[in-house]
Amino acid sequence: MKIDRDNCGFDELMVAYIYDEASSIERRRFEGHLLDCVRCTDEFALLSNARLSVFEWQKEDFADLATPHFEIPYERTNTVIENDATGWLAKLQGVFSGLGFPVAAAAGVLVVLGLGFAAVMLLNAPQPEIAANIEVERPVVEKQPIEAPSVITAPVPTAAPVNLESEYEVESEPVPAKAVKVKRPKASRPAVTQTAERSVSPTRTPKAPALNDFEDLDDRSLRLTDLFEGEIGGVY
Amino acid sequence: MIDLTDEQLVEKAVGGNADAFGEIVRRWERKIFALCFGMMGREDDARDAAQEAFIAAYRNIKNFRGDAKVSSWLHRIAVNQCLTIKRRQKTRAEDFLDDENGEEDRTFVASPLLSPARKTEQAERLTLVRQAVGSLPTDLRQVIVMKEFEEMTFQEISETLELPLSTVKSRLYTALKQLKMKLERTPVEVV
């Protein structure tokens, strides 16, 4: 659409004038020109008519539209805590303000003593183990043939069996824990897990093999009696 | 009376035919009001200015010379009235004076309380304006919307669109010009 601009070069100023954004000097210049120029006056009237049409449309369809209220669910955790704290303090102040000064002072002393007693009790209380949330799985121990110890210091003249259990038994109560499963979220720190595993590591409580843990028929390991078959000290 | 040209109506009005001048007013009241709105920037001021412009035209109709179009003659009278009112307002140092007594004298310009026929005309016009604005190129429609609906200044539009100030004004001028042409091609029939 071709637009002719026979308006004496006042097109921008004409728009600025219509929308009341011309400076006072520009306004005076344009008004003086309008009084002398019929063409610009007609042009200005036509532009004003177009502008009025848009203005009426805006006024008719949009001006009375109520702006909707947008409610954004912001988190109010801090506010609630502050309000609760304020309410708690206000209630406490209300309780003490209702009493006389001696009663309030005695109550204050009692509160302080109570807090001190609770602090002392907390400090002296035994610390619970961290592994409250640790579940220990009992391992499935498979019986495997165990070889006899290879260190023998001196030949024994008799073929009587030697009870080696006393040499290998480290603790009186064996701890069967072998695998440790820690119940923690995925983002838990690995250091804690390692500590927990170390604290219950099965290497610290090994179960020493006992000679009666297996059947004699299945056992093909070397026995002391095997060494002394024939003559005494035949092997070594 | 409706079939007569503007010049014929003026001739009859000069001869003392009030209805002829009434028809002139009916034909041109909106455009004169629009011009005054462009000059004054406020609806109530524009209504006052248009009212005074038509009164001045009626009083001076014998001075109308046939070498000019009636529309141009009315435009000139309206511009003069607007400038007169502005000077008056400036000397009074009051932006707006609500003259309740003057309400009764406003017989020429359509009041905000429109007749059913006028309401129908208004609704049709708004439909045309919607269509005309919607058919504008995007860059022109953008400045119209920002100016009329968001009430942004030229400077704000310039900063928002990252355009020179003169480009914003030029686009708005072109947009209004195209709107005027689109609206003129589909005139609203007054019942």
- Asked if A50 and B68 come within 8 Å (Cβ–Cβ), the reply is no
**B116-185 fold:** Arc Repressor Mutant, subunit A (1.10.10)
Whole-number pLDDT of residue A17 = 92
Mutate to test the interface with A, among B44, B64, B135, B148 (most CBs of A within 10 A): B148
Tell me the pLDDT tens digit for each residue of B21-74. 889 999 999 889 988 988 888 888 889 999 999 999 998 888 887 778 888 899
- Asked if A38 and B83 come within 8 Å (Cβ–Cβ), the reply is no
Query: What stretch of H or E contains A137?
Result: strand A134-137
DSSP letter for A136, please.
E
Whole-number pLDDT of residue A56 = 85
Whole-number pLDDT of residue A2 = 46
Nearest to B126 among A1, A31, A60 (CB): A60
Alpha carbon distance B61, B140 (integer Å): 40
- Contact predicate B32/B54, CB 8 Å: yes
Query: What stretch of H or E contains A179?
Result: strand A179-182
Q: Is A23 on the interface with B (CB under 8 A)?
A: no
Q: Is A30 on the interface with B (CB under 8 A)?
A: no
Instruction: Name the residue ranges covered by the structural domains of chain A.
Output: 11-61
Q: Is B114 on the interface with A (CB under 8 A)?
A: no
The SS3 of residue B167 is: helix
Lowest mean pLDDT among A22-26, A29-33, A166-170, B67-71: A166-170
Query: What stretch of H or E contains B183?
Result: helix B165-185
Q: Quick one: tokens of A95?
A: 């309780």
Q: Is A64 on the interface with B (CB under 8 A)?
A: no
Nearest to B179 among A19, A45, A50 (CB): A50
- Asked if A35 and B79 come within 8 Å (Cβ–Cβ), the reply is yes
Q: Is B76 on the interface with A (CB under 8 A)?
A: yes
Say how many residues make up chain B: 191
Provide the pLDDT confidence category of residue B92 given band limits of 50, 70 and 90: confident
Whole-number pLDDT of residue B94 = 53
Whole-number pLDDT of residue B145 = 84
Angle B165-185/B154-161 helices, nearest 10 degrees? Answer: 100
Contacts of A54 in chain B (CB under 8 A): 129, 133, 144, 148, 179
Nearest to A50 among B80, B154, B176 (CB): B176
- Contact predicate A19/B147, CB 8 Å: yes
Q: Is A212 on the interface with B (CB under 8 A)?
A: no
Provide the pLDDT confidence category of residue A25 given band limits of 50, 70 and 90: very high
Provide the pLDDT confidence category of residue A188 given band limits of 50, 70 and 90: very low
CATH architecture of B6-105: Orthogonal Bundle (1.10)
Whole-number pLDDT of residue B14 = 87
Provide the pLDDT confidence category of residue A85 given band limits of 50, 70 and 90: low
Instruction: Provide CATH 1.10.10.10 ranges for chain B.
Output: 116-185
Q: Is the pLDDT of residue B189 over 50?
A: no
- Asked if A15 and B83 come within 8 Å (Cβ–Cβ), the reply is no
- Asked if A3 and B174 come within 8 Å (Cβ–Cβ), the reply is yes
Mutate to test the interface with B, among A3, A7, A48 (most CBs of B within 10 A): A48
C-alpha distances out from residue A124 to A57, A119, A121, B155, Å: 80, 9, 5, 73
Across all residues in chain B, what is the average pLDDT? Answer: 81
Could you please report the per-residue DSSP string of B117-144?
Answer: HHHHHHHHHHHHHHHHHHTS-HHHHHHH
Contacts of A51 in chain B (CB under 8 A): 34, 37-38, 148, 176
Whole-number pLDDT of residue B103 = 44
Contacts of A61 in chain B (CB under 8 A): 126, 130
Tell me the pLDDT tens digit for each residue of B94-134. 555 455 444 444 344 445 556 777 778 778 888 888 888 88
Whole-number pLDDT of residue B17 = 86
Instruction: Provide CATH 1.10.1740.10 ranges for chain B.
Output: 6-105
The SS3 of residue B111 is: coil
Alpha carbon distance B64, B7 (integer Å): 10
Chain A residue with Cα closest to B81? A35
Helix ranges (DSSP H) in chain A? 11-18, 24-36, 38-61, 77-98, 101-124, 165-168, 190-199, 224-227
Helix then strand count (H, E) for chain A reads: 8, 2
